[in-house]
């Protein structure tokens, strides 16, 4: 194999894995040695940028770059004229249960995750203030209030403290997943648990990120499963 200095990346349009494999076969048939970006770099995860995920690239020898560009242009023209690839870029939104777990959006190309750390932070402050207020009320009225009133204050205080720490745990996860985007090629495996009412997804990505969601078992969640299957993602039903 030639050294890394003799290879230069050329970008192709964003597409499904089979399109890239087809172009790779065309280049190899023309005598051009090439690699998918993930094969050449030793990683199967595309590089992330602030705007999302870079398009899949092919790595070729710098000596063949002009010939390769001609083949890529012919491939693109044939795809556009004779066999256009029709993709649906209309986002389908799945709202997680509970709502603090955010949303999952997907089209025929990628999956996006959204959450609102700011709103969760506001909930943390609210439950913290309520917990402190109820704690002081409980302490100041130990002798004045009836047993029932003290019990209500104690229960309210306990609930506020529980929700305070619960939302703190959700805040950290929300910051990790907010505006995260990934392609089907980035997914190592998806674990699915289905019931009559709900469906749970656990995505295991190649970068060790593992978002977990529970959605209503409806047409939208079934559409997500179909998208994953059509993209060749490994699915395990638990």
| CATH at 41 | 3.30.70
**Is 57 found in the same domain as 29?**
yes
**Is 183 found in the same domain as 110?**
yes
Domain carrying residue 196:
92-115+178-237
**Is 42 found in the same domain as 132?**
no
pLDDT at 218: 92
**Is 171 found in the same domain as 128?**
yes
Helical pair 117-140 and 147-177, crossing angle rounded to 10 deg: 160
* Residues 206/188, Cβ–Cβ less than 8 Å: yes
| Coil/strand/helix, residue 36 | strand
Q: Decide if 37 is inside a domain.
A: yes
Task: Name the helix (H) or strand (E) containing 11.
Answer: strand 7-11
* Residues 32/61, Cβ–Cβ less than 8 Å: yes
**Is 192 found in the same domain as 127?**
no
Q: Decide if 185 is inside a domain.
A: yes
| CATH at 217 | 2.30.29.30
Q: Decide if 168 is inside a domain.
A: yes
What is the full per-residue pLDDT of the chain (238 aa) written as tens digits?
A: 444 444 555 554 445 566 777 777 788 877 887 777 654 444 433 333 333 344 566 677 767 777 777 887 777 777 655 555 555 567 788 888 776 678 898 887 788 888 776 777 777 788 788 878 877 777 776 666 677 777 787 788 888 888 888 778 777 777 777 778 888 888 999 999 999 899 999 999 988 888 888 999 999 999 999 989 988 889 999 8
Indicate the pTM of the whole model. 0.50
pLDDT at 7: 52
**180's tokens:** 């995260």
**Is 39 found in the same domain as 28?**
yes
Report the 3 state secondary structure along 59-101: EEEHHHHHHHHHHHHHHHHHHHHCCCCCCCCCCEEEECCCHHH
Q: Decide if 87 is inside a domain.
A: no
When divided into structural domains, the chain yields a total of 3
* Residues 220/79, Cβ–Cβ less than 8 Å: no
**Is 199 found in the same domain as 105?**
yes
Q: Decide if 108 is inside a domain.
A: yes
Q: Where is the domain boundary, 175, 195, 210? A: 175
């Amino acid at each position: 194999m030639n050294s890394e200095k003799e290879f230069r990346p050329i970008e192709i349009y964003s597409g499904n894995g089979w399109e890239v494999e087809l172009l790779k076969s065309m280049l190899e048939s023309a005598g051009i040695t090439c690699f998918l970006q993930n094969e050449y770099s030793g990683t199967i995860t595309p590089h992330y940028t602030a705007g999302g995920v870079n398009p899949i690239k092919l790595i070729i020898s710098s000596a063949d770059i002009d010939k390769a560009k001609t083949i890529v242009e012919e491939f693109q023209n044939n795809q556009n004229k004779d066999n256009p690839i029709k993709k649906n870029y209309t986002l389908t939104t799945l709202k997680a249960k509970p709502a603090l777990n955010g949303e999952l959006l997907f089209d025929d190309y990628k999956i996006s995750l959204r959450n609102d750390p700011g709103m969760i932070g506001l909930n943390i402050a609210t439950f913290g203030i309520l917990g402190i207020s109820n704690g002081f009320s409980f302490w100041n009225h130990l002798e004045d209030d009836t047993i029932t009133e003290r019990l209500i204050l104690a229960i309210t205080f306990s609930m506020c403290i529980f929700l305070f720490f619960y939302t703190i745990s959700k805040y950290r996860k929300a910051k990790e997943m907010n505006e995260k985007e990934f392609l089907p090629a980035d997914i190592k495996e998806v674990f699915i648990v289905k019931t009559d009412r709900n469906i749970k997804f656990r995505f295991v990505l190649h970068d060790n990120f593992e978002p977990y969601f529970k959605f209503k078992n409806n047409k939208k969640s079934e559409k997500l499963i179909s998208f994953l299957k059509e993209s060749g993602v490994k699915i395990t039903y638990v």
